[in-house]
């Protein structure tokens, strides 16, 4: 009788798949100050950050996007209205939501690996599973060769990748990102779009991404929220129904991508004009850039 062949168990990398959450914002109003000095920043704002989708918010500079991020994170409470995660009210910060801000938050005295492992260690979870996941994330963001480097020894793009890995190892149900690639040069920024999109597609995590870059918004988004001038609310929701994975080269000539861009730019231009009338320098810059883009498109 012939013996059955032996099978070898091969250890696989930890899966990046996570439990994804869904946030609903209903009739939210946020104001600051009292009496005659009250200023409304968010007004009658409603939208849904759908489960396992990448929702991107874009609007005029200073319209209130960062205020909404603080409300979603639980750092502040709305003046009126409700914000729920999977049907439960958000009453404060929680490990189910994690924010990646514009500024680098890496600890300069820690190596790349130690920065990524900070969350599990702070919770007393320095387990073999956590360490294996950290190694997997180092591979996913292309930083294995830089695991012993300190933040000052990394480029801006590498620092951003390390921060994404440090956020993802905590397995939040929802990632909230506030213009995380702002300040990077054009080439580094486009590389980060591809890294980030790949991580999102593999994990299936709910993502809420805020930006002022229309090309970044369209390349990343499943759904695009166009915001009004301050006090902000949702002006329009655009479904970016472009198949994944996406390629920056192919997006340039994609008819749907260009149609979404022109629709979004038209709405943003209207809102920027309102802000421009109020003396906003950022709005003036957008209006000028928009006019130049329209002239180029017409030629």
Burial level of 89, CB count in 10 A (0-12/13-18/19+)?
exposed
Q: What is residue 294's predicted lDDT score, i.e. its pLDDT?
A: 57
Q: What is residue 274's predicted lDDT score, i.e. its pLDDT?
A: 74
Each residue's pLDDT tens digit, 192-213: 999 899 999 998 999 999 999 9
Q: What is residue 15's predicted lDDT score, i.e. its pLDDT?
A: 64
Q: What is residue 42's predicted lDDT score, i.e. its pLDDT?
A: 97
Q: At what angle do helices 186-203 and 156-168 cross, to 10 degrees?
A: 20
Q: What is residue 7's predicted lDDT score, i.e. its pLDDT?
A: 35
pLDDT < 70: residue spans in the chain: 1-15, 275-299
Decide if 184 contacts 192 (C-beta within 8 A): yes
**What CATH number belongs to 17-32+40-87+173-299?**
3.40.50.300
Q: What is residue 11's predicted lDDT score, i.e. its pLDDT?
A: 40
Each residue's pLDDT tens digit, 1-41: 444 433 333 344 566 777 899 999 999 999 999 888 899 99
Q: What is residue 299's predicted lDDT score, i.e. its pLDDT?
A: 55
CA distance 170 to 19: 12
Domain limits, CATH 3.40.50.300, in the chain? 17-32+40-87+173-299
Lookup: tokens for 264: 């979004």
Q: What is residue 35's predicted lDDT score, i.e. its pLDDT?
A: 84
Q: What is residue 27's predicted lDDT score, i.e. its pLDDT?
A: 98
User: 3-state secondary structure string, 141-162?
Assistant: CCCHHHCCCCHHHCCHHHHHHH
């Amino acid at each position: 009788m012939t013996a059955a062949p032996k099978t070898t168990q091969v250890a696989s990398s930890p899966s990046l798949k996570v439990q994804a959450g869904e946030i609903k914002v209903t009739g939210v109003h946020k104001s600051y100050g009292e009496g005659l000095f009250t200023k409304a920043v968010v007004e009658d704002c409603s939208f849904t950050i759908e489960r396992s989708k990448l929702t991107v918010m874009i609007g005029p500079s200073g319209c209130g996007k960062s205020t909404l991020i603080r409300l979603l994170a639980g750092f502040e409470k709305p003046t009126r209205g409700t914000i729920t995660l999977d049907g439960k009210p958000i009453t404060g910060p929680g490990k189910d939501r994690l924010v990646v801000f514009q500024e680098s938050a890496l600890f300069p005295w820690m190596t790349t690996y130690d920065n990524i492992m900070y969350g599990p260690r702070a919770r007393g979870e320095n387990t073999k599973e956590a360490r294996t996941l950290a190694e997997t994330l180092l591979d996913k963001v292309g930083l294995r060769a830089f695991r012993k480097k300190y933040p000052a020894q990394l480029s801006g793009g590498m620092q951003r990748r390390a921060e994404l890995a440090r956020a993802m190892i905590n397995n939040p149900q929802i990632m909230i990102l506030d213009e995380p690639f702002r300040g990077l040069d054009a080439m580094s920024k486009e590389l980060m779009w591809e890294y980030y999109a790949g991580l999102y597609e593999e994990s299936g995590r709910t993502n809420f991404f805020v930006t002022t870059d229309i090309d970044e918004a369209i390349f990343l988004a499943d759904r695009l929220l166009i915001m009004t001038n301050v006090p902000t609310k949702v002006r329009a929701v655009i479904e970016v129904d472009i198949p994944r994975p996406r390629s920056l080269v192919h997006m340039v000539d994609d008819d749907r991508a260009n149609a979404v861009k022109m629709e979004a730019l038209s709405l943003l231009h209207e809102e920027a004009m309102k802000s421009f009338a109020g003396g906003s320098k950022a709005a003036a810059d957008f209006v000028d850039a928009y006019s130049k883009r329209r002239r180029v498109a017409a030629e």
